[in-house]
């Protein structure tokens, strides 16, 4: 029997806030989770790439999930889904992270392909790895394709469709941004059977028009309401209006990368929403000076967000 598929919509890999000693800034984390939920997002990805998962201990990963679930539940957002990033460099550790995610309150897990030895990751070994971990995961399992952080390993549509037949593998996040790949998958497996999510805001609408279930994207950390407005326009069939807003989101996605990524997002959140600071865990770099055309573009989006 096939495991439950995540609901369609917009998910955000939440940034994680730290104090200047790199301990969790619990108050800021809770404020951020609450603002995202109030912005209408379908779900929150905890310990994704934007949540600096690779910089966290196992206990910290569990704490981040538990804190997110508790914050949502205490504020009436029990319906907001938590997906936990559980990728590690061995099947053994990944299985442990999946078990920890269930204990901490996640509903789904999202798993990267190991990449320390990319030459060993043949098609057969990639399929074997994900099937093995999915066999042992107590939560429904999503395959995370993000070549930038996996030494260039880029899962093709044939691999993902093969994995989609596993009873516990229920979706994928495509941070490769490849709409052709996305469309090949959705043309065989619709969202009711397999949750195919774009991995960047710049192709959110293009993915939806190609049959995706939505997206997991970083930009909603700054402007969740704008994303949900665009999603609502798409659902209402107002494609021309949705495309105009999609153009702004595409510009914002690019601006986030050019302005300084995670550090810039934290700085902008602190400046405009009144919580958290720009601290990141090394080797990432904090961004304390916000200036330039890319920052201007992001501040224009935030200004639009505040009108909604």
Distance CA 174, CA 176 (A): 5
Q: Work out the burial of residue 77: count CB atoms within 10 Å of its CB; fewer than 13 is exposed, 13-18 middle, 19 or more buried.
A: middle
Alpha-carbon separation of residue 34 from 72, 160, 232, 279 (angstroms): 7, 33, 21, 20
Distance CA 79, CA 81 (A): 6
Q: Cβ distance 215 to 201 under 8 Å? A: yes
Cα distance between residue 144 and residue 127, in whole Å = 13
Q: How far from each other are the two terminal CA atoms of the chain, in whole angstroms?
A: 42
Give the pLDDT confidence score for residue 60 in this predicted structure.
97
Instruction: Spell out, as residue ranges, where the chain has pLDDT lower than 50.
Output: none
Q: Give 106-146 pLDDT, tens digit per residue.
A: 999 999 999 898 889 999 999 999 999 999 999 999 999 99
- For residue 299, what pLDDT is reported? 96
As annotated, the active-site residues are 144, 173
DSSP state of 2: P
CA distances from 116 to 90, 149, 152, 210, 301 (A): 10, 10, 11, 33, 38
Q: Say if CB 43 and CB 11 are below 8 A apart.
A: yes
**179 carries a ligand binding annotation:** no
pLDDT digits (tens, 9 = 90+) for 283-293: 888 887 888 99
pLDDT for 285 equals 84
CATH T-level fold of 9-238 = TIM Barrel (3.20.20)
pLDDT value of residue 117? 86
Distance CA 229, CA 208 (A): 14
């Amino acid at each position: 029997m096939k495991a439950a598929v995540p609901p369609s919509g917009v998910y955000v890999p939440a940034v994680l806030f730290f104090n200047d000693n790199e301990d969790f800034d619990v108050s800021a984390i809770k404020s951020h989770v609450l603002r995202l939920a109030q912005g209408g997002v379908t779900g929150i990805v905890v310990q994704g790439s934007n949540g600096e998962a690779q910089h966290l201990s196992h206990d910290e990963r569990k704490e981040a999930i538990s804190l997110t679930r508790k914050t949502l539940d205490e504020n009436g957002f029990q319906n907001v889904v938590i997906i936990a990033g559980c990728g590690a460099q061995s099947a053994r550790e990944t299985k442990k992270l999946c078990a920890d995610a269930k204990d901490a309150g996640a509903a789904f897990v999202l798993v990267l392909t190991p990449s320390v030895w990319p030459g060993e990751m043949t098609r057969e070994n990639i399929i074997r790895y994900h099937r093995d971990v999915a066999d042992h995961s107590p939560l429904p399992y999503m395959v995370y394709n993000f070549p930038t952080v996996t030494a260039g390993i880029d899962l093709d549509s044939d691999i993902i469709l093969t994995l989609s037949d596993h009873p516990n593998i229920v979706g994928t996040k495509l941070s490769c941004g490849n709409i052709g790949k996305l469309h090949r998958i959705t043309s065989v497996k619709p969202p009711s059977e397999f949750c195919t999510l774009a991995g960047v805001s710049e192709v959110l609408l293009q993915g939806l028009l190609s049959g995706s279930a939505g997206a997991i994207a970083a930009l909603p950390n700054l402007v969740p309401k704008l994303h949900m407005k665009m999603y609502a326009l798409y659902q209402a069939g107002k494609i021309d209006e949705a495309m105009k807003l999609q153009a702004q989101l595409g510009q914002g996605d690019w601006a986030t990368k050019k302005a300084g990524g995670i550090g810039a997002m934290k700085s902008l959140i602190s400046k405009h929403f009144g919580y958290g600071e720009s601290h990141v865990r090394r080797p990432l770099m904090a961004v304390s000076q916000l200036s330039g055309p890319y920052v201007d573009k992001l501040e224009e989006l935030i200004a639009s967000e505040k009108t909604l």
